[in-house]
Amino acid sequence: MIKLFGWSSLGRVKYDTEVYEEDFVVSTFQEVFPREIEDDAHFITEEELERSVDDKTKIIMIGTGDYGVLKVSKEAKRYCKKNKFDLIVKKTPDIIQEYNKKMKRKGRKPSVTAIIHVRC
């Protein structure tokens, strides 16, 4: 069974049957775990991406919050390019719609890791 996002509003995002009020990561296996934030909750680093992806990841989708506050470092972008990950960065409401479209496609499901910024 494919898990999908339901909705988002400032400070809350529904994924499958759960509502999340803190930033989180959805693995390629559709498992959810908290986003491991080091110093700045509004910045994605290469190290964070390394911790978030798994062997099946081909696409990294980053939801930057309702207002697009979350930023992706140059090093993180280079990491994606070096490892041949497709990187898609959009505001959270837009990224969850795109995630759902990718997961609903017929045939083989894309190997997506999603990092979702819930606040801002």
Residue 75 neighbours by CB under 8 Å, 6+ apart: 45, 46
Yes or no: say if 92 and 67 are a contact pair by the CB < 8 Å rule.
no
Structural domains of the chain, with CATH: 5-116 (3.40.1230.10)
Yes or no: say if 62 and 113 are a contact pair by the CB < 8 Å rule.
no
For residue range 79-101, list pLDDT tens digits in order.
Answer: 999 999 999 999 999 999 999 99
Q: Report the pLDDT averaged over residues 13-28.
A: 97
Q: Say if pTM beats, i.e. exceeds, 0.85.
A: yes
d(CA 63, CA 8): 11
For residue range 52-67, list pLDDT tens digits in order.
Answer: 999 999 999 999 999 9
The angle formed by the CA atoms of residues 84, 102 and 66, to the nearest 5 degrees, is: 90
* pLDDT attached to residue 108: 66
